[in-house]
Amino acid sequence: MAMLIKLDHVYAGYHDSLVLEDVSLTVNEHDFIGVIGPNGGGKTTLVKVISGLLKPVSGSVYLGNELEGGKRIGYLPQINHFDRQFPVTVLDVVLSGALNRRQWFGGFKGEIREKAHHLLEKTGIKTVSSQPIGSLSGGQAQRAFLCRALMTDPLVLLLDEPTNFVDREFEKNLYQLLSELNESMAIVMVSHDLGIISSHVKTIACVNKTLHYHDGPEISTEQLAVYNCPIDLVAHGPVPHRVLKVHK
């Protein structure tokens, strides 16, 4: 399978503090990698390094040729809150994912607009497409940002806690959508919910300053303890499952 992105002995962080140390990870075609780890462990930082938004302090990031210098990486950032005053419509947000496809005289080709409408329909927010993004619920906004990430026809889709704000109904649809998308793109998804991770991803990266890669969707309690990934057993819904404990 073709290599899309390779992190080789990467050290990364902010100012003087290192968040990731000696991290190596390869994203291949058709991968679906779940990223887990405690709060502050460096999951978002890892995703930023993969996306190219954060340059490593040392080590290397190699991109496969098809990624066109990183243009075909879709990124849904972790959203904790968003600016409700932001004066653009939902459709504008989605189209902003295709800025590199704008025509030289401005505006987007009809096919790009069609694609935006198709994605809005697929994620169930077409009816609100002309509303200001700030008028949407958190879950609807999350879907709009997912549409934006998909506008680049990504070969690698990075999702940082995509189910924040999203209701149970759309969560099911989301995983169905992701498994369809996974046929044509690799997915790297950060999640706190190990139950979700185990049932949808193919492999797991456990991040807590360093990265431990598991070549399968299951990870044992003992392994998590060794990697300093504290876990908790919780039961919400009919099946009890494990989620990561929140660090103080």
Q: Which residues lie near ligand ATP (CB under 6 A)?
A: 14, 19, 37, 39-45, 78
42 binds, among Mg ion, ligand ATP, none (CB under 5 to 8 A by kind): ligand ATP
Report the residue number, 125 or 166, with the smaller CB distance to ligand ATP.
166
Q: Which is nearer to Mg ion, 43 or 72 (CB)?
A: 43
Give whichever of 14 and 86 is closer to ligand ATP, judged by the CB atom: 14
Distances (CA, A) of 149 to 28, 110, 194, 240: 19, 19, 24, 32
Residue 72 CA to its chain's centroid (Å): 14
Tell me the closest approach of the beta carbon of residue 201 to Mg ion, in angstroms. 17
Alpha-carbon distance values, 83 to 8, 11, 88, 135, 187 (Å): 36, 32, 11, 10, 27
Instruction: Using the minimum distance from each CB to Mg ion, give the nearer residue, 40 or 56.
Output: 40
Among 26, 28, 78, 89, binds Mg ion (CB under 5 A): 78
Residue 27's SS3 state is: strand
90 binds, among Mg ion, ligand ATP, none (CB under 5 to 8 A by kind): none
Q: Which residue has the tokens 């360093």?
A: 210
**Which residues 36-55 are close enough to bind Mg ion by CB under 5 A?**
43-44
CA gap 179, 245 in Å, rounded: 27
Q: How far is the CB of 95 from ligand ATP (least distance, A)?
A: 27
The answer to whether 206 and 227 have CB atoms below 8 angstroms apart is yes
Query: Which residue number, 98 or 194, has a Cβ lying nearer to ligand ATP?
Result: 194
Nearer Cβ to ligand ATP (19/116)? 19
Question: Any contact of residue 24 with Mg ion (CB under 5 A)?
Answer: no
Reported as type and span, the H/E element at residue 74 is strand 73-76
Min separation Cβ 89 and ligand ATP, Å: 28
CB of 192 to Mg ion, least distance (A): 9
CB-based contacts of 65, cutoff 8 Å, min separation 6: none
DSSP 193: B
Q: Where does this chain bind Mg ion (CB under 5 A)?
A: 43-44, 78
